[in-house]
Amino acid sequence: MAMAGRQTVVHFAAESHVDRSIYDPAPMIETNVTGTFVLLQIARRLHVEKFVHVSTDEAYGDLPPGTFAAEDSEDSLVQPSSPYSASKASSDLIVRSYVRTFGLPAIITRASNNYGPFQHPEKFLPLMIASALDDKPLPIYGDGKQERNWLHVQDHCRGILAVLERGRIGEVYNIGGADVVENLTMARRLLRATGKPQSLISHVADRPGHDRRYALNCEKIQRELGWKPTISLDDGLRQTIEWHRSYTKWLTEVRGGHYRTYYQKYYENRGSSLHAITESGRKPTSYLARAIPQPRKATTYSPRTSVLFLRGKNASRKPQAARTIRHRQRRLLHRSLGDQIPAAITRLRRNPRLVFQQRRSHESGSPACQLGARFHAELAQ
């Protein structure tokens, strides 16, 4: 066990790309929520002396223009917008619950947008720098007016160390940079720094639910722990650009294979990818009535014995969806649903499975049974 014999734990591990969380939310929940829970359980069992949970400014959600999120302000509640930020906000709350309920000596940090060496090229700044150096278009989401608070990774690490050494148990500390810059302005700044033409800027379809502003008030960590950022944005960008020019081999390896497929799908074919997402969320409230045709009269099906629910990630597509359903119910499911299964259901998990389960009398008020009753009512119309 990696944590055995350790006095302190700094929990960095996370799935952290917003776009990936939109296209496939499941890994975010599994890693960021369940993964944090597992670490907390082990830390509690091993009596770890201090547990620092590294989180994000995105937990605060979209801020009004000109405002800054403060850790202890009633105006800065946790209001995440994306599956990624929701998973991080959820893990934050679980950490706080372990402090209060079990006395776990934990602290939470929330940092602004990081940049610096060895950052994955799917992130905004590495993507912009790499695209500029390769004379490729710089994809800017929407109008590019989204504001971000930029923090060099070295300053972030110094802030985490300050929290680890001197932070108060149960507290939240914001760790943010000194500059809040629009994405479009940042892209133009990078093009000037790399000597590339402004014509490389290419506006693409915006991200669904894209937050307009992130900005952190960092007075608490400055006042209590004496931390403040030391690397200016100009110096940090210059260092990062030079790093990209020097580490071309590493970048080539990272940008091959899986990343190449990712880039083609979500940038080169962005329109169709986003269309699939937005359309899956536009089903009417009574989507079952529109999606499911009436069953044939010869079908015998009792609404008192079964409910419809989703389970697991082992099954695959519709031809195998009824693998665990009793034989006499399979034909009903496929004849009733066929290719009409709502996309919102099929995308709920990467590999959803439709299963019928016996309903017990004491479960009649459960959400699953209510969904089942609704399904039966739609079929009976």
Q: Which residue has the tokens 């994405």?
A: 183
Which residue in the list 57, 155, 171, 211 is annotated as catalytic?
57
CB atoms within 10 A of CB 368: 14
Q: Among this protein's residues, is 378 annotated catalytic?
A: no
Active site residue 84: yes
- Catalytic residue at 30? no
Catalytic pick among 15, 19, 58, 122: 58
What secondary structure, in 3-state letters, does the chain show?
CCCCCCCEEEECCCCCCHHHHHHCCHHHHHHHHHHHHHHHHHHHHHCCCEEEEEEEHHHHCCCCCCCCECCCCCCCCCCCCCHHHHHHHHHHHHHHHHHHHHCCCEEEEEECEEECCCCCCCCHHHHHHHHHHCCCCEEEECCCCCEEEEEEHHHHHHHHHHHHHHCCCCCEEEECCCEEEEHHHHHHHHHHHHCCCHHHEEEECCCCCCCCECCECCHHHHHHHCCCCCCCHHHHHHHHHHHHHHCHHHHHHHCCCHHHHHHHHHHHCHHHHHHHHHHHCCCCCCHHHHHCCCCCCCCCCCCCCEEEEEECCCCCCHHHCCCCCCHHHHHHHHHHHHHHCCHHHHCCCCCCEEEEEECCHHHCCCHHHHHHHHHHHHHHC
- How does strand 172-175 pair with strand 106-111? parallel
Which residue out of 19, 71, 84, 98 is catalytically annotated? 84
C-alpha separations of 62 from 88, 209, 331, 341 in Å: 15, 10, 47, 34
Active site residues: 57-58, 84
